[in-house]
Amino acid sequence: MLSEMNLRRGLDFNEFRLFYQPQVDCLTGKVLGFEGLIRWQHPERGLIAPGDFIELAESTGLIIPIGEWVIQEAFSQLAVWEKLGRGHLTISINLSPRHFLHTKLPAFLMECANNKGIEPQKLKLEITENVALEDHVAVNKRINQLSEMGFPVSIDDFGTGYSAFIYLQHFPVQQIKIDRQFVRTVDVDPKSEIIIKSIVQLAQMLGLQTVAEGVENEEQWKRLQAMGCDEIQGFYFSKPLPAEEIHRFFASSE
């Protein structure tokens, strides 16, 4: 069993890693950026998936320093890409509700962006529908505040929570990510196609960008393309990889 002490030790010994999965222009196949996904490179247990430690991080409050590490890492990577002439690439990170509403988040984001000389527009912030369980007024205020600072906010796993539409009503987000449960069967189940089509149309009418996650084959890509989805990501293009291994995607980002 992993404990709070294990997590603290992991932070102190810099054992966390950010892996990157390409986010691709659905029309052209061009790489626009990457989603950053955390892993824990444990000295004895090997690579640990976020599903095995994020809950513990949330309940112990360590999600704040871990999330801050993710933000710093993402900005460092954006700065490296900028030096390599890849300044157009974006990174999308996952923020837990607790960190999203944390008092110090806006100042921390701005400080990191300024330190690295990176435009806030390059860092997208993904929040899940769970954030809607929090105080709506506070969430709305925070999304407005971050949007005004230039950080795009995206709703992750859209369509799976019971409160999906409340976001669109009250929260001024820029993007929604269509959950892979719908994408998984879009090439075989007409119902999935109808649901995705309606999400894309809804998003278009509200002026929001759509990203479909979990694309695993070309047929799914083509269907999403025909529906007018903006961006896609999934194993068809790549699984999440360490920064050193994603350079091969740079050729397809031009």
Query: Is residue 33 part of the contact set for ligand G (CB under 6 A)?
Result: no
Nearest to 54 by CA among 89, 24, 94: 94
Select from 94-102, 115-123, 193-201, 227-235 the region that touches Na ion (CB under 5 A): 94-102
Closer to ligand G by Cβ: residue 37 or 123: 37
70 binds ligand G (CB under 6 A): yes
Site for ligand G in 160-199 (CB under 6 A): 180
91 near ligand G (CB under 6 A): no
Nearer to Na ion, 9 or 184 (CB): 184
Question: Which of 23, 90, 94, 175 lies at the binding interface for ligand G (CB under 6 A)?
Answer: 94
Q: Where are the alpha helices (DSSP H) in the chain?
A: 4-12, 54-60, 63-83, 97-100, 105-116, 136-149, 164-170, 180-183, 190-206, 218-227
* Cross-strand partners of 24: 31, 232
- Asked if residue 71 lies in contact with residue 100, where contact means CB atoms within 8 angstroms, the answer is no
Distance CA 40, CA 61 (A): 17
Q: What's the one-letter identity of residue 168?
A: L
d(CA 2, CA 54): 11
Interface pattern 43-62 for ligand G (x via CB under 6 A): ------xxx--x--------
For residue 233, give the nearest of 1, 30, 66 by alpha carbon: 30
The closest alpha carbon to 186, from 214, 157, 154, 145, belongs to: 214
Among 113, 130, 153, 110, which Cα is nearest to 54's? 130
Instruction: Give the residue, chosen from 4, 61, 235, 242, that forms a contact with ligand G under the rule CB under 6 A.
Output: 235
Contacts (CB under 5 A) with Na ion, residues 216-245: none
* Contact between 38 and ligand G per CB under 6 A: yes
* Residue of closest CB approach to Na ion: 156
Options 214, 227, 230, 253; binder of ligand G; rule CB under 6 A: 214
- Over the window 113 to 152, marking each residue x when it contacts ligand G by CB under 6 A and - when it does not, the resulting string is ----------------------------------------
Q: Using CB atoms, what's the residue nearest to ligand G?
A: 234
- Single out the residue of 234, 233, 229 nearest to residue 197, CA to CA: 229
- The least CB distance from residue 85 to ligand G, in Å, is 27
Nearest Cα residue to 114 out of 81, 143, 71, 148: 71
Q: Is 126 one of the binding residues for Na ion (CB under 5 A)?
A: yes
User: Where on the chain is the footprint of Na ion (CB under 5 A)?
Assistant: 94, 126, 156
User: Where on the chain is the footprint of ligand G (CB under 6 A)?
Assistant: 21, 37-38, 49-51, 54, 70, 93-94, 96, 156-157, 180, 213-216, 234-235, 240
